[in-house]
Structure 1
Amino acid sequence: MRKDFTVALLGIVSITVIILLISLKQYSTQIDALTKENEQLSLQTQKLESEINFSKPKTIKSDQMNYATWGELENIATSFSNDSEGAFKKSWGIYLVNESKKHELDPYLIYELLKVETGGTFDPKLVGPETKYGHAYGMSQFMKNTAPWIANMADLPYDDELLFDPYYSIKLSIVYLDFLHQQYNDWNEALTAYHRGMAGMEAYKQANGSAKSNYAIKIQSNAETHRTVAFAN
């Protein structure tokens, strides 16, 4: 009888251990799920805070407001048109310079970004290659899952067809790049995030030690060269 009791006790202990192991596994799974959910909430909160800060009006100095006279606007716009052999229209350039200065951004940086994004074609109707996230559209190459909330930040209406409007596309690129630069306060990070997405930029940093991607380097280098040549002329 004592032997039967021992066997029964061992059986109870075994069942208890199994139950504990299952409970621990379930608990571990729940912890992992909560950790991932917390990370997602943290990213969403960070994004929301950035959007709120972005929407606050900036204090612009009087000398910044007077940066571009009509002649300067025209000269920069002409340099864009000449550099693109007419593909980037002068009227687009005037709009780009004016809008970029409202956001205190370098117009040459915006122009070179659009140049890289379109492969130098500046085609407003451009549809990018298919990816697992879909296609990118227009001169600034936005995807349909990103463009609506950028349009909202810019206080603009949204429709898929508007992505093919050059002025609309230029405006979105300026607003988004401004948002990213305010988010990171670093041009390598801002430009790489524009190209890869915010999560993609963080992944690139972890893999490479910094966000200094070829994409970011090329745009900044070309902008500096373009600006130097334009001022020399």
Structure 2
Amino acid sequence: MILISESNMKRIYIYILIFLIFTGTIGVISFFPLKYYGEIDKISKKYEIDREVIYSVIKIESNFREHVVSHKGAVGLMQIMPSTGEWMAKSHNLPYSKKMLLDPVYNIEIGTLYLHYLMDRYDGDVKKVLVAYNAGPSRLEDGSWKKFKETKNYLIKYKIAKFFYRIRLYFK
């Protein structure tokens, strides 16, 4: 479970309320798409990661832009660092090339495989998993992630995205 301060939770609920007031159902559907539903459903079951977790990470990392490459070199929907992608692929006997990370389904599989690895490493503690995914395991373990506003915001964005994806997937 992710622990967020009461003041931050109030802020999250205010954002959700404002979003719902101004966009309604159509806004939720368009702002929180269910692209790659069949593929994500299959990959979710294969690696035992909830679909709303996968969708939320994709929403936060790339906003479903398939071919985006960050200034740090992270690639694709789930913003996989090439070194992480290569490591995950090789450790699971999957083919790998940096170019393959631009394939949406392959990117989702490698990203979900990494989430699965982090879930095992951190005993299912979603907050630790998300911090490690965003800032890196070493920053999680030495506590330096707390200095990064980006990572704190990542956790808030995750809560919001997961809320909406849980609703979207419930009615799918």
TM over 0.5: yes
Counterpart selection for 1:178 from 116, 119, 125: 116
Q: Distance in 1 between matches of 2:171 and 2:138?
A: 40
For residue 229 of structure 1, report the CA deviation from its aligned partner.
Answer: 4.8
Q: Are 2:44 and 1:105 equivalent residues in the alignment?
A: no
For residue 226 of structure 1, report the CA deviation from its aligned partner.
Answer: 2.3
Identity score, percent? 30
Matches within 5 A, 1:1-233: 82-84=29-31, 89=35, 92-118=36-62, 120=63, 122-129=64-71, 131=72, 135-185=73-123, 186-203=125-142, 205=143, 208=146, 213-231=152-170
Q: Distance in 2 between matches of 1:155 and 1:178?
A: 16
Segments of structure 2 that go 5 or more residues without pairing to the other structure are 1-28
CA deviations 1:21-66 (Å, max 9, x no partner) are xxxxxxxxxxxxxxxxxxxxxxxxxxxxxxxxxxxxxxxxxxxxxx
Q: Which amino acid aligns with 1:180?
A: L
The alignment's C-alpha RMSD in Å is 2.6
Higher relative contact order (CA 8 A, sep 6+): 2
Q: Which amino acid aligns with 1:112?
A: S
Segments of structure 1 that go 5 or more residues without pairing to the other structure are 1-81
Instruction: Provide runs of 4+ in structure 1 moved above 3 Å.
Output: 82-86, 206-209
Q: Does the CA-based 8 Å contact 1:124-1:166 persist in structure 2? A: yes
Q: Does the CA-based 8 Å contact 1:124-1:165 persist in structure 2? A: yes
Q: TM-score, normalised by structure 2?
A: 0.71
**Kindly tell me: are residues 158 and 184 of structure 1, through their superposed partners in 2, closer, same or farther at Cα, counting changes over 3 Å?**
same
Q: What is the number of residues matched between the two proteins?
A: 141
